[in-house]
Amino acid sequence: MSLSIETDVDLARYNTFGFPVVARRFVRACSQAQILEAVELAGRLGQDLLVLGGGSNLVLTRDIEALVLQIATCGVRVLADDGETVLLEAEAGEPWHPFVQHTLVCGYAGLENLSLIPGTVGAAPIQNIGAYGVELKDVAVAVIAFDRLEQRVIELSADDCAFGYRDSRFKREAGRWIVLRVRFRLQRRARLNLDYGPIRQWLAGEGVEHPDAADVSRAVCAIRSEKLPDPAVLGNAGSFFKNPVVSAERADRLRNEHPGLVCFAQGDGRVKLAAGWLIERAGWKGFREGDAGVHRLQALVLVNYGHASGAQVVELARRIQADIRERFDVDLEIEPNVI
């Protein structure tokens, strides 16, 4: 066996909240062959399998009896380049932000708005990560994954992935798929998305009149750094709640009842509400109980000030959900995966 099995591993450094839960068995896979070997091992042991990427979208509430598999595969390859469009494939274990920066250094545009998002390439399609007007579905053309149900490697097109708002087939069919690689279609001639107001403001403030993709990435990094805490400094998993989407009629009623409500019209006629506005309006911004709290600058972010447990953070989230439901008759959905 080429895999090395570790026992009783502290997962604090493998999740961005820093929760010190213990994995009874832990393996690190650096190749597709090792990933498939780990799947086979879990089957032989009669254990569930918990797959970890960067641990940036995870809330661990207890010690893990399942076999924990960390995907650590690396590599980025150009599959095709016609001078205008580049087809790029990245291994699931590649850290996301360094991958984005690599594409920009190479002169490829398309991922700049997704700069500084924590996690790995393999986790990106599961959540259909998105920021500042761009989602993964806008640039991903295929995902190569191992189907644990059919026991084979399958290439899924973007349509096959059924991407939605912070959602995908992989998330809805949790436990079935292990993402191995992701293919992206990027551009040599940038088609910049500057619709998010603060990006234009930052560029103007820096005196950038004709921005390129690298400029947009710098703007996004600056904005995110100002608004969101660094997980290396303060444990968190980014936005903890999805922005709820409601009917236009419901949004109109809420606007009448709560002047100043921040919301965004969607292409299907519905309206996306700013969950952060709802939470801040309800008075939770900056709230702290023990070491579990709501960030003082961004109400969407729950944080671990040092010694909070995953269970304590989830309990705080449940209290916020109940309060928002009572005040606004709106249900907030937790974004990270709670184990």
DSSP β-ladder status, 140-147 and 152-157 = antiparallel
CA separation for the pair 306, 17 (Å, rounded): 9
The CA distance from 240 to 230, in Å, is: 15
Selected catalytic residue, list 91, 94, 112, 335: 335
Give catalytic status of residue 24 as yes or no.
no
Report how far residue 322's alpha carbon sits from residue 314's, in angstroms, rounded to the nearest whole number.
Answer: 12
Angle at 140 between CA 302 and CA 52, to 5 degrees: 45
Q: Let me know: does 148 contact 215? Beta carbons within 8 Å.
A: no
> 239 an active-site residue?
yes
Distance CA 202, CA 55 (A): 30
77 included as an active-site residue: no
Residue of 185, 239, 281, 309 with catalytic role: 239
Q: Identity (one letter) of the amino acid at 297?
A: L
Helix ranges (H only) for the chain are: 32-45, 96-105, 124-127, 169-172, 197-205, 213-227, 248-257, 275-281, 310-328
Q: Exactly one of 28, 166, 183, 281 is catalytic; which is it?
A: 166
Give the bridge partners for 29, in sequence order.
71
Active site residues: 166, 239, 335
